[in-house]
Amino acid sequence: MPLPLSFMHVRDEAQAEALDRRQSFTDMTRAGASTWPRRQVALLVRDDATGLTILEIGTVTRSHQRVATGWHRLGYVRRVEIAPVPLEHLIAAIPDQFRRTVDERAFGGGALAGKSSAAVIDAMETLRPAAGRELRRMIGADTPRSPPLRGDGLQAAAQEADAVRLALDIGDIPRKAMRGAWPDGESSFLDQLERLRAAEDTTIAYDGMRFLDFDRIESPSGAVMFAKGYERLTVVNVNRQPLERTTGADLIYINETMPSFVLVQYKTMRREGDPPKLLYRPDAQLAAELDRMRKIAPGRDDRSPMSFRLSPGACFLKLCKPVVRLDYTQDLVSGMYLPLSYYDALANSNEVAGPRGGAVFSYDTVRRHIDNTLFVSLVRGGWVGSRGATTKRLKDLVLNGLDADRSVTVAAASRNSVFEPSDS
């Protein structure tokens, strides 16, 4: 669906300085969704020596949660600079029936309705053909709408968002750090977060190419860093498949301080029977994925308190309830976590044996499981996970995952010395 087109103004020197330094700035508004939708393409207006002039095209996002009573934050990010267009010249090129509406938005800021937006695009193509084409491309007005996600693609999009939320919970980062990002099935959830947070302070800006020295990861679909006091959490998605062709998700959570890592592999349960029940039936694809997980050595126990674990295993399955649509709340996807060794014990027992001899995992056959709350506590406290994990092992694990049709989300938690006070 095409994005709305809006006008955004640089209103003071602080915003101008932030734009020149970081290519982004923030503003505050009391206006609602009709004036400032959740996300839009924007023509940026600045007051230069010749008057109000459009100098670039960017994107604007409105925060999902109010930052104060009645107030929302707007975040602008530069996308492309264009040949200057005096605002009065653009207004003059607009057809008479749309000129008043465009004039109000052009000088006051905010989004345009469909026909007024189309009139502005046409005028831009007349005045600055290259800029007009770029504007049309960014809005998506010349791009057919993607069909809604279904089946595995729908579940993968929901699981990708769940992996980010789960990492935040484990890292004890407030959910509000996600701002207004939600899975839309068209782009990476982390890519949305990266755009939304681009206007934040430079201390949380991050280059995904430096992430854990993964110099072979060429183009992550999202790289976001969160900070809380001396702690930091960096989340990167290295999915190289379109969401509609993605069969599932993985979360690799790394505690660089301990060091330790935990891998969560997502699987979607299905509704079967009459009355319908949620079931998961292991298949050949899972068997191959479990073989990969079994190659992850738990690491040496050096008998120190920090290396103590309730279980030496680092791998878990999360059997998820299916998501019906992507506009769900920001809660974690419901499901049950099974440590790999526990899964093996269940698979080799009669407890999950189906009527035809195959294994059937359900809330009826799996009497004990770990829920979201307990899992977050176990990982955050270091009660589960590997010991003595090495960067090379993590690299190989992630890079091997790139060849699969899965969305691999890697989250690394560490203490950042940049934020710590010195001892002097």
376: its two tokens: 């977050």
Q: Which residue has the tokens 């996807």?
A: 333
Q: Which helix (H) or strand (E) holds 47?
A: strand 39-48
* pLDDT level of residue 204 (50, 70, 90 thresholds): very low
Q: How confident is the model at residue 194 (pLDDT cuts 50, 70, 90)?
A: low
Under DSSP, the state recorded for 40 is E
Query: What percent of the chain lies above the pLDDT cut of 90?
Result: 28
Q: Minimal CA–CA distance to 296: which of 283, 319, 312?
A: 312
- DSSP helix/strand/coil, 45: strand
Residue 198 pLDDT class (50, 70, 90 cuts): very low
HSE at residue 268, side-chain half, CA atoms within 13 A, is 21
Dist. CA 282–CA 422, nearest whole Å: 53
Q: Work out the average pLDDT over 208-215.
A: 45
Question: In whole angstroms, how large is the CA radius of gyration of the chain?
Answer: 25
User: pLDDT higher for 177 or 132?
Assistant: 132
The whole-number pLDDT of residue 116 equals 92
Q: Token pair for residue 359?
A: 């294994």
- If one compares 22 and 8, the residue with the highest pLDDT of the two is 8
Helix (H, G, I), strand (E, B) or coil at 380: helix
Per-residue pLDDT, 241: 58
Q: Greater confidence, 419 or 326?
A: 326
**CB-CB contact of 337 with 370 (8 Å):** yes
pLDDT at position 422 is 40
DSSP letter at 313 equals: -
| The most confident of 198-207, 329-338, 353-362, 391-400, by mean pLDDT | 353-362
364-404, pLDDT tens digit by residue?
999 999 999 999 999 988 899 888 655 556 666 666 655 56
**Segment 22-26 mean pLDDT:** 87
Highest mean pLDDT among 3-7, 49-53, 152-156, 241-245: 3-7
pLDDT at residue number 405: 65
Predicted pLDDT of residue 155: 83
pLDDT digits (tens, 9 = 90+) for 349-359: 999 988 887 89
Domains in the chain: ranges and CATH: 5-139 (3.10.590), 151-415 (no CATH)
Query: Could you tell me which residues come within 8 angstroms of residue 144 by beta carbon, excluding any fewer than 6 positions away?
Result: none
Cα–Cα distances (Å) from 231 to 199, 383, 423, in that order, read 20, 19, 18
CB of 397 closer than 8 Å to CB of 296 = yes
CA distance 234 to 411: 6
Reduced to 3 states, what is the DSSP secondary structure of residue 227? Answer: strand
Local confidence band at 336 (pLDDT 50, 70, 90 cut-offs): very high
Tokens for 273, please give them: 């029977």
The CA–CA distances, whole Å, from 44 to 12, 16, 26 equal: 13, 11, 13
CA atoms within 13 A on the CB side of 384: 22
Q: pLDDT category, 200, cuts 50, 70, 90?
A: very low
Q: What is the DSSP letter of 259?
A: T
Residues 210-223 as b/e (b if ≥16 CB within 10 A, e otherwise) read ebbebeebeebbbb
403: three-class secondary structure by DSSP: coil
Summarize pLDDT for 105-160 with one digit per residue, the tens.
Answer: 999 899 998 899 999 999 999 999 988 888 888 887 544 445 566 777 788 878 88
59 closest CA partner among 73, 43, 83, 46: 43
**Burial environment of residue 207 by CB neighbours within 10 A (0 to 12, 13 to 18, 19 or more):** exposed
201 — pLDDT class (breaks 50, 70, 90): very low
Q: What pLDDT, on the 0 to 100 scale, is given for residue 347?
A: 93
